[in-house]
Structure 1
Amino acid sequence: MTQIFGSCNRYVQGYGELEKMHQHVNWMGTRFFVVGSPRRLASLKEIIQEAMMEAEDLVFEEFGGECSWAEVDRLIQMVKDSGSQAIIGVGGGKVADTVKVVAHQCGIRVVIVPTIAASDASTSAASLLYREDGTIEEVLNFPESPDLVLVDTRVILYSPVRLTVAGMGDALSTYIGGKVCYDHYYDNHFGAKGTHTALAIAKLSYDMLMQYGRQAKKAAEQQVITHAFNAVIEVNILMSGLGFENNGSSIDHSFFFGTLALPDREEQVYHGEGVAFSTCCQMVMNGASNEELDEVFQFCVDVGLPVTLEDMGLTDLTEEEYNIMTEAVLQEVFTQNSPSDVTFEMVLGAYKTADAIGKMYKAGGKLI
């Protein structure tokens, strides 16, 4: 049995850490190419310039807005023309995914500076490529993970609270889906079996969410740094990333992706928010106990993650729409990573029962 554990080369997290960037990247070379959204570059460019004064060359370029092949090809040419030895992505998941592709294609180092804690894209060795209309074109997997993930908690602190909570929703799925893969010897995202280390990280991420998630949201609302806030940022960005890649994915995301198959229904939730409800559905389908369901549903209600279809922006669903969602779940590749064969009836039952349980918890009821 082959087991693989992969991770970013180095992870740095701290308040004001962006001001120390050069000491973290100077081993990569002297010429750097920085990509960020117009808004992020407007607020952080001066800090980065001052931090990187010792660099021989520092080129800034605004992100085009979509992680597409057109944007990747544009940046590849600019990076080659600049002679840069490393690319630095400053922003959210799409910026991170874009610079990972560019770095791989150019054979240079890659640094990710997440400005939100809404997902675990920063640490992963994969990128989602989108078409210009916003639909997913392909998933790229790289033989290497990012060289450095640099998290300045001061930057994260002033990002929208809802995005940090969405990151908790994405992280919530890490252990619940990963344990299914570990227990049943399904391959992880590196094409091998998971390790004890990987499962321990995933379990710790879940435990820390339960312990610190509610506090962390309160701190984020007050825009103050606390132990709980720091802990949850580490969970959302580092532990969730290591956990999902190294354990693998089950049906924890599939129920969310099923909702995206509905025609004429606009997506109204962030990725992590949708994953939270999807994870609730997985637990119902896999026969979680009342105690297990109570912990997760109550947590989601407390921090403001979706627990009903209405929370997902899906009201007055028709049976035809339920059928569309259910069939889409059955087509998702990771749906097959389940304890037993997944049927139409199981998926439909999970959607409707999770929704009913969520309504009960929002009304003040409980399973135990």
Structure 2
Amino acid sequence: MDNIIISPSKYIQGEGALDNIGKYVSVFGGKPLAIADDFVMGLVRDRVDSSIAGEGLQVSFDKFNGECSRPEIDRLIEVCKTGGNDVIVGIGGGKTLDTAKSVAYYSKLPVVIVPTIASTDAPTSALAVIYTPEGEFSEYLLFPSNPNMVIMDTGIIAAAPVRTLVAGMGDALSTYFEARANGLSGKATMAGGAPTRSAQALAKLCYDTLIADGEKAKAAVESGVSTKAVENIIEANTYLSGIGFESSGLAAAHAIHNGLTKLEECHHLLHGEKVAFGTLTQLVLENASTQEFEQVLGFCRAVGLPTNLHEMGVEEVDDEKLMAVAEASCAEGETIHNMPFPVTAKSVFAAIKTAHRLGLK
């Protein structure tokens, strides 16, 4: 199996980067379609419009309706076709960005990704997570290439709700542990080959950055300011985690996240909040050292990530419902089968219950 690493063609990060979006988009086309939800439209539309118009481009905007689902993707493909757009610009959170990538893929157009939060590692990846219109996990959609460009305006991201940055840390928290498991199993990564040493190093750097700067970054954004720690965490949540997971592999943590979408009580949670608990569960599943588990548990508590089912909204732990979560986590094709040992629904059920118990304060 070949060693493969993949990444966006260009990654741009800096305060005020959005004001240069017209210059960046102009290399791909003259009629961009910008996709964003109502809130993001109100937040950035004037700046985007001004910058793109300043480059002589003709931009059109369309509202993202909230779920990265097949019906929403199909609707926007038709909008793009009717409008004669030649480049897709996705602005917002993970589901908006995954929708933009999907529309660009099916329309055979370049895509520019502009996150307004650092809540997931979705921006850099060559995949999208597709949900049902009701919000349950449906499938992974894999693309032949990563986004053409990712633009991170750290001023906007630092001013976003603190919870989103913390959720991004939860998503990034799994990167190293899933990469480690995937490396031990020798299974192919999301990039379609064996991991490179550089991808594994980025995954480890992601974890080290979280431990070093996560709590400080949270304190800064809670105070309404951006610091070097915030800049580092934005990069960890987005680029380090993105390259790390995609080119080093996913394993149990994200599969358990997908299983948790079966619990209606967890639908209010952000992606990374569920992934954080999935990481704790993976560590139990693989019988990680007490020292390592305690470090991850302590980090989650320090930044405010859920460590047990009660904190995730599950008031009464129901074994039948948890077994359904475990079974969904072990579905055919799920990334949990990248673990370096056989995994069953029974073993996942046991790990979830144990992680919950260990995570109780």
- Is the shorter-chain TM-score for this pair beyond 0.5, marking a shared fold? yes
Matches within 5 A, 1:149-228: 149-228=150-229
Partner of 2:26, secondary structure, is helix
1:105 to partner: Cα distance: 1.6
Matches within 5 A, 1:314-325: 314-325=314-325
Conservation of the 8 A alpha-carbon contact between 1:165 and 1:304: yes
Conservation of the 8 A alpha-carbon contact between 1:285 and 1:347: yes
Question: Aligned equivalents of 1:11 and 1:344: distance in 2?
Answer: 39
Partner of 1:57, secondary structure, is coil
1:115 to partner: Cα distance: 0.8
Partner of 1:225, secondary structure, is coil
Match in the other structure for 1:366: none
Conservation of the 8 A alpha-carbon contact between 2:137 and 2:261: no
Question: Aligned equivalents of 1:81 and 1:248: distance in 2?
Answer: 38
Q: 1:117–1:85: structure 2 CA closer, same or farther, 3 Å change rule?
A: same
Partner of 1:60, secondary structure, is strand
Q: 1:355–1:132: structure 2 CA closer, same or farther, 3 Å change rule?
A: closer
Partner of 1:20, secondary structure, is helix
Conservation of the 8 A alpha-carbon contact between 2:182 and 2:189: yes
Aligned length: 359
The letter for the 1-side match of 2:56 is A
Normalising by structure 2, what TM-score? 0.94
Match in the other structure for 1:21: 21
Q: 1:192–1:226: structure 2 CA closer, same or farther, 3 Å change rule?
A: same
Match in the other structure for 1:39: 39
1:55 to partner: Cα distance: 2.6
Q: 1:104–1:296: structure 2 CA closer, same or farther, 3 Å change rule?
A: same
The letter for the 2-side match of 1:24 is Y
The letter for the 2-side match of 1:19 is D
1:172 to partner: Cα distance: 0.3
Matches within 5 A, 1:290-309: 290-309=290-309
Q: Is there any run of 5+ residues in structure 1 with no aligned partner, and where?
A: 363-368
Matches within 5 A, 1:122-137: 122-137=123-138
Conservation of the 8 A alpha-carbon contact between 2:118 and 2:164: yes
Share of identical aligned residues, percent? 39
The letter for the 1-side match of 2:351 is A
1:163 to partner: Cα distance: 1.0
1:129 to partner: Cα distance: 2.6
Match in the other structure for 1:365: none
Match in the other structure for 1:83: 84
Question: Aligned equivalents of 2:249 and 2:40: distance in 1?
Answer: 32
Farther-moved stretch of structure 1 (183-192 vs 110-119): 183-192
- Computed over aligned residues only, the root mean square deviation of the Cα atoms, in angstroms, reads 1.7
Conservation of the 8 A alpha-carbon contact between 1:267 and 1:313: no
Name which one, 1 or 2, has greater alpha-carbon Rg: 1
Conservation of the 8 A alpha-carbon contact between 2:323 and 2:346: no
Q: Is there any run of 5+ residues in structure 2 with no aligned partner, and where?
A: none
Match in the other structure for 1:233: 234
Partner of 1:28, secondary structure, is coil
Conservation of the 8 A alpha-carbon contact between 1:31 and 1:55: no
1:351 to partner: Cα distance: 1.7
1:140 to partner: Cα distance: 1.3
Conservation of the 8 A alpha-carbon contact between 2:185 and 2:341: no
Runs of 4+ in 1 over 6 A off after TM superposition: none
Q: Deviations over 1:204-231 (max 9, x none)?
A: 0000000000000001101211000000
Farther-moved stretch of structure 1 (143-152 vs 324-333): 324-333
